[in-house]
Amino acid sequence: MIFRFDFGNPFCTEAVTKEIPAKTGLEAEKEFSVYGELSLNTGFSFKMSLQKNSVIYGFGQSMGGINKKGRKYISYCTDDPVHTEGKDSLYGAHNFFIIHNPGEKHTDLGFFFDYPGRITFDIAFTETDRIIISAEEKDISCYVIKPEGKNPLEDITRQFREIIGRSYIPPRWALGYMQSRWGYRTKEDIESVYENYTKAGIPLDSICMDIDYMVEFKDFTIDGEKFPSFPDFVSKLKKDGVRLVPIIDAGVKIEPGYDVYEEGVKNNYFCKKADGKDYVAGVWPGRTHFPDFLNPEARRWFGLKYKVLTDTGVEGFWNDMNEPAMFYSDEGLSEAVEALKNTDLSKLDINGFFAFKDKVTGIANNENDYKRFYHRCIQNGKEVTVNHHKIHNLFGYNMTRAAAEGLNEINPSKRFLLFSRASYIGMHRYGGIWTGDNSSWWSHIKLELSMMPGLNMCGILYTGADIGGFGYNASRELLMRWIEFGLFTPLMRNHAALGTRDQECYRFENPEDFARLIRFRYRLIPYIYTEYMKSALKNTMYFRPLSFVYPEDMDCLEIEDQLMVGESLMVAPVLEPNSTGRNIYLPEDMIEVRLTNTEEIIQTEIPKGRHYIKFPLDELVFYIRKGHALPLAKPAMRTDLIDFENLSYIGDKEVIQKAGKEGIPPYKVYIDDGFTTEYKEI
Amino acid sequence: MIFRFDFGNPFCTEAVTKEIPAKTGLEAEKEFSVYGELSLNTGFSFKMSLQKNSVIYGFGQSMGGINKKGRKYISYCTDDPVHTEGKDSLYGAHNFFIIHNPGEKHTDLGFFFDYPGRITFDIAFTETDRIIISAEEKDISCYVIKPEGKNPLEDITRQFREIIGRSYIPPRWALGYMQSRWGYRTKEDIESVYENYTKAGIPLDSICMDIDYMVEFKDFTIDGEKFPSFPDFVSKLKKDGVRLVPIIDAGVKIEPGYDVYEEGVKNNYFCKKADGKDYVAGVWPGRTHFPDFLNPEARRWFGLKYKVLTDTGVEGFWNDMNEPAMFYSDEGLSEAVEALKNTDLSKLDINGFFAFKDKVTGIANNENDYKRFYHRCIQNGKEVTVNHHKIHNLFGYNMTRAAAEGLNEINPSKRFLLFSRASYIGMHRYGGIWTGDNSSWWSHIKLELSMMPGLNMCGILYTGADIGGFGYNASRELLMRWIEFGLFTPLMRNHAALGTRDQECYRFENPEDFARLIRFRYRLIPYIYTEYMKSALKNTMYFRPLSFVYPEDMDCLEIEDQLMVGESLMVAPVLEPNSTGRNIYLPEDMIEVRLTNTEEIIQTEIPKGRHYIKFPLDELVFYIRKGHALPLAKPAMRTDLIDFENLSYIGDKEVIQKAGKEGIPPYKVYIDDGFTTEYKEI
């Protein structure tokens, strides 16, 4: 059961696609106050009591654990590449959460605060027994979801997913291993990656092209000097099943003569300042304009621009810098430089120095700049001008919507790979996300693990972190452990930043160890694809906290380092360096699967309970639930080459034997062409 | 057995106090090459092979776990307040480590690289089977320690400690609970802390005074407006057993008429540039000079300045900003401002922008600035001028040496509390350290735990982290869990930064929960003090990795979240939020001690092995070894009031009963006056 309460004059974000009648006015205030203390005096404020043992799930891309209690979360899409524990905001804004009261599950509730601006969720941080939600404006749509089935966590999630629309489905090749690096500059760089992976016997489906493939970072250009005969190059690689995935940034370079710039200016497709001039932000290309993705015409125009690249044979994209990230604004930069020019060094005291320094260090992604420009949006059929700051969290979402709608118009029957950095709930219908510019830190494997179920709850299924970490330098062990988890994520990409250690698997000692792991990923793809399609088509989750699957098991509530993957598997990755084992908790008897360093698969029954298990670095260990069989394809170097028909099965022997006797497969694999939008029933 | 090999012309750091004859020249090169590949062609380079299962201990204050494998460590004392996993340098420089080869312990070796400049230790990071050590200059003293006893880890550590001299011993009151905050500005602020702790029934021994007590951040001044009749205030608090601990910063404000400045200039006590002018660095007071702590005369002059404060009754100090931290240099600032003044905005491309931004963001603690000034040092009885960069890591060490020598001259029989931020091996003889500007992050409890044994190995016994975390905002749960570990650290201080959430225990819900924990700390002080004195007087460790105590137990090698505390205890703190239990490993049968939320002590025998144990937030749980008894004092609000004579005992009943029958205490407590340097035998 879903209830909607509208306060003030909410902006229609189109996060929710299903019509839910809203209570409004005093009636809304009265009825919503059943759930907590509501105040609309200054902006929006809402305080809810928690039980001591309440567990909070949700918030999509955010810091913290699977249980979101004890922190603040601020939804305000932010390009902050240092994901330390103290950060409140990341790239996405996912205002959905569930309050779970163990042992009293009829009291569980889901909440979605559909609000496109800055909103703060203080989840038992300031007060240990309360949730405190506050937003600058009272214009907000609140959805309350009451569970119906016997598993409230699963049911609330399913109900929420039903109202926000079906999740994006990528082409099947997007489940293959992707290699990326900010720093591939030329055709030769890409070829070298392709050749080295081939030589090392490591499966590979795609190579991402970061900003350097463009002419001066101009969207929808390809530098012909660095990439001569680009369509031929695309087609040559594709013949061997390897695809190129270029990046597209949000800002359009200001350069007379550049078609995207000229068209945008001419047609008023760019965000404007109060004085009607196009807003200027400094990003990779230098001074740029931001397309007004909130405006349907501008969105269509930008989306169709992707044809420049699809015409070369490209079938996938990643949308970046779309929080939108800003290194500076014209105004901010001028103010800083002017202030500095007037600095009298001889009179500079320490406060003067910090004022000077802060002027420069605070120049990027400054909230004042987000207040300097406007969007032309259609609301209730009418064009309205809205300050960016108020709908900040919709920018990346609508950039990716632009791309998805454009690509759909370019080829309606084709699935394109599309993933974004910034997002808001609703964007999950148009593409996936990667979890942004993480670091080569052990804690970021766990951070990824923690985020996955929250993202799935918000419909974002095609997702994964930069394996090995984007910033800083990865050790071989870190990369290996990360792959041991990452081989279960739908988006499986190794990506690293300019200036960091080379991070392609073949750069490290014994690439064969990496090859073995990634080969196994490919053997798992029939399962991963099937479970992905189930999650997308049935509004379920691909990654689940253990407590979602074993709601009666109170021990599951605190398991923060294991996840259920699809209906049959549980993973318990090693999250610490220099470890050859770890403690695990089995909520039921399970079958341990151990892929040895000689590529044997050893299956062992392990009883329900807590165990210390050996997880040597060069072995992959995971668990199959009793009553389940896991299909394994034959090894393949490309997803295109995976044989979905001839599978072997591991897992519960009884299930496998019984199915054998009945002449049916013990696990029903979802099979379609993997390329078109002709999805099958599941 | 300790072997010393000198290459080039090593600077005498006085880290080692015992005369060890050095091999030099070709003989040294030949003999040292037994341990690895030595190259002296460009600077110093040394590569050692590791076994696959080698474990590395040491490196004092550094990132990473107890096992230091898989990372780089760069010794170059750095004021970097963001202690993320990716950082290579912290405030200290502790170039000692042990290579432990499990199962082949006769091959274990200790290494100390006595080198006062930047030196890099790549510990199986770039190559998984090698240690690669490199320094800019070849002028280095290398010590190799071969174990003699049957416990090589303990023995190597003891041998090393014997050559670097006895660790600093604080007054006993320094083991009491300390409250601190950057932001206490006035007498009233301090009084409020004192009164609120008293009201909440939480024991307290001292309150730290951060930079705001001074007049314009000038060392050895007290702002009389904010602190009228300061000596009376000191004495009033001391009557109730509470002491004030002011901060002293490294930089001396440039201000004509200010005595410290005037004397320093007149006597050439400040570090000078190549042109002979006093070097200028911007720190808290604005433009400052750095005392030349490497120069014995300047050191004595600065040390005796502490008398300004000891004359008011102050008995303890913390030395800060002594890496030395620099917000800017005169030269760096001028260069940045000049460059910016010439910036033509209209022509600024993205590279120009980043050049502009980097000029300002790179202005602090810039290595170029460390090369701009010089020290006058005595080497082999002669005065030599040395560039700061080359001996950078000795600065904080010698500031604290200055203080310790000065305080000793002021009152030779008195113990003063003294701890520093920057350090080098050798400084452990003069004071302790706190682990610097950490953050209110869960990972920083573990970081503290990991650092403790490494610091102890280097002789730094009086140490602990800012409990609750310095930067960012602490949750109640974080502070509570941190105290549950912190109550075992000799230095137990709650400290927080300006602008962060108030972090005194009484600011949170149910201060009684904190009171109960801190009261228990005071009951433990006879044990903590005894074990501290043992460690200091016998060159042993106060905190040990489990593997140091159970060298035959291979399972101990990977225990990264438990520590042995003194001879009798093992702690296993909860390091994750929202957890009411954790997995532990007992290397032998032990007695679990559970301090309940009603202040009962429940003792339970737990057998050797792995267990999942309930650790509710409001209970303290730790372990006593079989064969050991733990003395507990009666509760007291001040260390001065602790009765060391009338103790009760918990732990191994047989031991306690047997001792009872024999009429001797089951644990021998070390008792002295706690204030003078008249230490007893132990």
Distance CA(B260)–CA(B517), nearest Å, equals 43
Q: Write the DSSP assignment of B129-179 as a string of letters.
A: TEEEEEESSS-EEEEEE---SS-HHHHHHHHHHHHH-PPP---GGGGSEEE
Interface of A with B in 440-459 (CB under 8 A): 440-443
Put simply, the answer to whether A125 touches B475 (Cβ < 8 Å) is yes
Region B638-658: mean pLDDT is: 97
Q: How many CB atoms lie within 10 A of CB B228?
A: 12
Structure confidence at residue A344 (pLDDT):
75
Q: Which of A318, A492, A317, A532 is nearest to A414 (CA)?
A: A317
pLDDT bucket at B128, cuts 50 / 70 / 90: very high
Q: Which of A50, A27, A143, A28 is nearest to A99 (CA)?
A: A50
Q: What is the pLDDT of residues A326-379, one digit of tens each?
A: 999 999 988 888 877 777 776 778 888 888 888 888 999 999 999 999 999 999
In Å, what is the CA distance from A149 to each residue of A1, A106, A153, A552? 10, 10, 9, 14
Q: Is B682 a residue whose pLDDT tops 90?
A: no
pLDDT bucket at B351, cuts 50 / 70 / 90: confident
Report field, pTM of the whole predicted structure over 0.80:
yes
Q: Please report, rounded to a whole number, the percentage of residues in chain B having pLDDT higher than 70.
A: 100
Structure confidence at residue B336 (pLDDT):
82
Among A283, A354, A576, whose Cβ lies nearest the Cβ of B560?
A576
Put simply, the answer to whether B583 touches A578 (Cβ < 8 Å) is no
User: In which element (H, E) is residue B432 found?
Assistant: strand B432-434
Left (φ > 0), alpha (ψ -120 to 50) or beta: where does B245 sit? beta
Check CB contact of B349 with chain A, cutoff 8 Å. yes
The mean pLDDT values, 10 residues at a time, for chain A of 682 residues are 98 98 98 98 97 97 98 98 97 98 90 98 98 98 94 97 98 98 98 98 98 98 98 98 98 98 98 98 96 98 98 98 96 84 75 85 94 97 97 98 98 98 98 98 98 98 98 98 98 98 98 98 98 98 98 97 98 98 98 98 98 98 98 98 97 97 97 95 85
Q: Is B143 a residue whose pLDDT tops 90?
A: yes
Q: Are B564 and B549 in contact (CB under 8 A)?
A: yes
Q: Are A354 and B360 in contact (CB under 8 A)?
A: no
In Å, what is the CA distance from B603 to each residue of B153, B591, B620, B624? 31, 6, 12, 9
Among A127, A341, A350, whose Cβ lies nearest the Cβ of B282?
A350
Region B288-314: mean pLDDT is: 98
Put simply, the answer to whether A576 touches B69 (Cβ < 8 Å) is no
Q: Are A566 and A527 in contact (CB under 8 A)?
A: yes
Structure confidence at residue B361 (pLDDT):
87
Put simply, the answer to whether A84 touches B576 (Cβ < 8 Å) is no
Among B65, B334, B441, whose Cβ lies nearest the Cβ of A84?
B441
Q: Please report, rounded to a whole number, the percentage of residues in chain B having pLDDT higher than 90.
A: 94
3-state secondary structure at position A110: strand
Among B442, B478, B579, whose Cβ lies nearest the Cβ of A558?
B579
Structure confidence at residue B597 (pLDDT):
97
ipTM: 0.97
Which chain B residues contact residue A254 at CB under 8 A? Answer: none
DSSP state of B325: -
Among A348, A360, A610, whose Cβ lies nearest the Cβ of B357?
A360
Put simply, the answer to whether B472 touches A86 (Cβ < 8 Å) is yes
Structure confidence at residue A382 (pLDDT):
96
Distance CA(B119)–CA(B75), nearest Å, equals 5
Mean pLDDT of chain B: 97
Interface of B with A in 423-442 (CB under 8 A): 439-442
Q: Is B347 a residue whose pLDDT tops 80?
A: no
Q: What is the pLDDT of residues A152-205, one digit of tens each?
A: 999 999 999 999 999 999 999 999 999 999 999 999 999 999 999 999 999 999
Structure confidence at residue A490 (pLDDT):
98
Structure confidence at residue A8 (pLDDT):
97
Structure confidence at residue A359 (pLDDT):
84
Put simply, the answer to whether B343 touches A337 (Cβ < 8 Å) is yes
Check CB contact of A679 with chain B, cutoff 8 Å. no
Structure confidence at residue B340 (pLDDT):
76
